Amino acid sequence: MGKILIACNNDSTTILHDFLESCADEAKQICADNSIEYSPVYPPNLSEQNVIGVMPEHQLCFFAGHGDTDGIYNEDEEAVVSIHTTNYNFKNKGLYCVACSCAQKLHSHLKSLELLFFVGYNDTFNVRGEREPFINSAMAGLKSFLNGDPLKVAKEKMIATYDNQIATLDTTDPMAAVELVHNKEALVFDGNDDLLFSNLQ
């Protein structure tokens, strides 16, 4: 069975650290529900070496942190995974991010190194109001994929979760619904339709 690296910037000085930690906690729960082994990495150990360096022992990296077009960073704003890090360890792996904008350049860079599966956002990832709809939406693809669904189904379920959460928020918190629509439209979900978690190496 595969093994997942769960990386999260939950440093108390980090904006939205509680939200990022909740996403990582959900990733751990999904792993536990599917009897999938995982390794957590948090500050002050959140570094390129402790994420990319250990990818040979993992099939997929889940990363909740702050990002930009070039990559994802730790609490000291040092690049952990970026177009400037040495990323060959991502060959035949997956990267699932809850981070701003990293689908713009990081995605294509990793794909050129034969990353098989990428989920991220090509614009800001926004959070407003009640956190749960944002967590549920952001994590739905991972939940489906680790449950054994092929990538195409995982993507469909993630979009459906976004739509359901948006519909609910439309009546209770329309401003939050607008932010969730923004996240859905920025979502990049890439990989072979038939890919299964068990295909990752």
Set out the domains of the chain in order of their start, with CATH numbers. 3-199 (3.40.50.1460)
The pLDDT of residue 23 is 98
In the chain, what is the straight-line distance between the N-terminal and C-terminal CA atoms, in Å? 10
- pLDDT, one tens digit per residue, over 170-187 is 999 999 999 999 999 999
To which H or E segment does residue 3 belong? Answer: strand 3-8
Q: Tell me the average pLDDT across 62-75.
A: 97
The pLDDT of residue 2 is 84
Amino acid symbol at 16: L
Query: Structure pTM?
Result: 0.97
pLDDT at 188 over 70: yes
User: What is the spatial distance between Cα 3 and Cα 75, in angstroms, rounded to a whole number?
Assistant: 25
The pLDDT of residue 60 is 97
- pLDDT, one tens digit per residue, over 39-55 is 999 999 999 999 999 99
Q: Which residue has the higher pLDDT, 2 or 15?
A: 15
Q: Give every strand in the sheet of 60-64, ordered side by side.
A: 37-41, 3-8, 60-64, 94-98, 117-121, 187-191
pLDDT at 59 over 80: yes
Backbone angles phi, psi at 111, to 5 degrees: -65, -35
pLDDT at 1 over 70: no
Angle between helices 132-146 and 17-33 (to 10 degrees): 30
Q: What is the bridge-based pairing of β-strands 3-8 and 60-64?
A: parallel
Average pLDDT taken over every residue of the chain: 97
Q: Tell me the average pLDDT across 61-77.
A: 97
Per-residue DSSP letter, 14: S
Identify the band that residue 117 occupies on the pLDDT scale cut at 50, 70 and 90: very high
